[in-house]
Amino acid sequence: MEFISIKGFKDILPPETGLWQKIEECARRVFSSFGFLEIRTPIMEFTDLFSRGIGQETDIVSKEMYTLTDSKGRGMALRPEATASVVRAYVQNGLHEAGGVQKLFSIGPMFRHERPQKGRLRQFHQINAELLGDPGPLSDAEMVLMAMTIFEAIGIGGLTLCINSLGCASCRPGYRNILKDYLSGIKGSLCADCRRRAELNPLRVFDCKVDSCKEAIAGAPSISAHLCSGCVDHFDKVRSYLDISKLSYKINPNLVRGLDYYCKTTFEIQTDRLGSQNAVAGGGRYDGLVKILGGPEQPAIGFAMGMERVAALLEDTVKDYFYGADIFVAALGEASKSRIFPIIADLRKKGMRVEMEYGEKGLKAQLKRADKLKARRVIILGEEELKRGEAIVRDMGTKAQEALPLDQIVNLAGRL
């Protein structure tokens, strides 16, 4: 094979594309019902946007970005996530000037240079939502509710909703230092990764899956005990809104997001059916990000949903998304094809899905193909029928047949 696709960049083929369309349609419908409008941003941005927004020390920025330098020496990167771009667009286009909240969603490819595995690709796709300009907690709860509603619309159940609060600019730094001190005290019992994390991003040690680390940090001070009163109040209200929405959730104090900008409410929607890639959606509040990216002081919250992972959860239903036909035209011979060709075009203009055999195949082969396409009607036009100026219309279900004048065939569109 001379040409193959880049590692981690995959073709999405039919009939799976039908599944993707369904996922997008469901998401769009839900977004619309929540008053979210679509935004489309470029897939490439100046690298600084991501290193400033996501955080220089995060894995995403420090080792997973696809970067390039243009002819003027400027660093650019394929977007590893959507939020930074959306916030950039929000600031650059002065969307905050309009007042009120901005509710935006976007769907598209993201790029991270990781080792591919189940549910993880280098080019992957996210459905993304951002609510800018409201400090919550009602908007927090609504975002969580909206994410869950999308899964419900798609028809995915059995998911676990986890939530946590990471604290805000006034209480997180204090907690961070307390945790750092604690970790340096038990350094000896931490794995190499955690010792590195303890310095750069101490909250991340809660993510560690090494058993010895889990034990070592079991006694670590928890974030929930160090939240300021404002954050406690905020989190309580979010939970009460979720409660009255009848959403069940788990509070997971170890739920720590890998991007620096998150604060206060964070959440993740998990599955146990996807191996180690258990998060199908994740998000949280990022009140400081708009300012960091040069905008005004504006609170915001968002989430992203991994489309490959959602599609994987629906894999067993893929076969329902084949491309069928309403009508199959079995024209025998060149003269018949020429006669029926414009009629086919008229049927299609009326919304019918019409298929025909392009080559010279026998009637038997054509009927076989019609069956495979699950065509409801077959129009048979042989030389005999052509002479009489009519075609045979066969109902594939009832096997009933009738002769129909050629100039009336287009009316079949109204009968199906």
Partner RNA sequence: GUGGAUGUAGCUCAGUUGGCAGAGCACCGGGUUGUGGCCCCGGUGGCCGUGGGUUCAAAUCCCUCCAUCCACCCCA
Residue numbers at the binding site for RNA (CB under 7 A): 4-5, 7-8, 10, 58-60, 64, 81, 112, 114-121, 124, 126, 193, 197, 204, 207-210, 257-259, 268, 275-283, 304-306, 308-309, 361-365, 367-368, 370-372, 378, 380, 392, 394, 396, 399, 401
- What is the nearest approach in angstroms of RNA to the Cβ of residue 309? 5
> Between residues 14 and 362, which has the closer beta carbon with respect to RNA?
362
Nearest approach in angstroms of CB 101 to RNA is 22
- Nearest approach in angstroms of CB 373 to RNA is 10
Per DSSP, the residues of 187-213 read GGGS-HHHHHHHHH-GGGGGG---HHH
Of residues 95 and 332, the one with the C-beta less far from RNA: 332
Question: What secondary structure does DSSP assign to 166-180, as a single string?
Answer: ---TTTHHHHHHHHH
Rounded least distance, CB 33 to RNA, Å: 22
Residue placing its CB nearer to RNA in the complex, 120 or 172: 120
User: Of the two residues 320 and 360, which places its CB atom closer to RNA in the complex?
Assistant: 360
Residue 95 or 121: which CB sits closer to RNA? 121
**Given the complex with RNA, which of 200 and 251 has the nearer CB atom?**
200
Taking the complex as a whole, the smallest distance from the CB of residue 15 to RNA amounts, in Å, to: 13
Q: Which is nearer to RNA, 82 or 96 (CB)?
A: 82
Alpha-carbon Rg for the chain in angstroms? 28
> CA 147, 280, 154, 139: dihedral to nearest 10 degrees?
0
CA-based diameter of the chain, in Å?
95
Residue-wise DSSP of 18-37? HHHHHHHHHHHHHHHHTT-E
Tokens matching residue 309: 């992972």
Return the closest-CA partner of residue 341 out of 324, 358, 353, 326.
Answer: 358
Which C-beta is closer to RNA: that of 89 or that of 370?
370
Q: Strands across the sheet with 102-111, in order?
A: 37-38, 102-111, 123-132, 300-306, 279-285, 263-270, 160-165, 250-251
Q: How far is the CB of 271 from RNA (least distance, A)?
A: 9
- Closer residue to RNA (CB): 296 or 362: 362
Residues with Cβ within 8 Å of 287's Cβ and at least 6 positions away in sequence, in order, are 135, 168, 169, 263, 264, 299, 300
Name which of 96 and 124 has its Cβ closer to RNA: 124
Torsion of CA 111, 112, 113, 114, to 10 degrees: -130
In the complex, the smallest distance separating the C-beta of residue 233 from RNA, rounded to whole angstroms, is 26
Tokens coding 224: 């929930």
Identify which of residues 88 and 120 has a Cβ nearer to RNA in the complex. Answer: 120
Q: How near is the Cβ of 347 to RNA at its closest, in Å?
A: 20
For the chain, the first-to-last Cα distance in angstroms comes to 46
Rounded CA gap, 335 and 338, in Å? 5
CB of 100 to RNA, least distance (A): 26
What is the Cα–Cα distance from 386 to 406, expressed in whole angstroms?
Answer: 8
Minimum Å gap between C-beta 336 and RNA is: 15
**Least distance from C-beta 72 to RNA, angstroms?**
28
Q: How far is CA 212 from CA 201, 215, 216, 218, 251, in A?
A: 19, 5, 6, 10, 23
**Phi then psi dihedrals of residue 292, to 5 deg:** -55, -35
Q: How many helices (H) and strands (E) does the chain have?
A: 15, 16
Compute φ and ψ for 130, nearest 5 degrees: -135, 135
Cβ–Cβ under 8 Å, residues 282 and 271: no
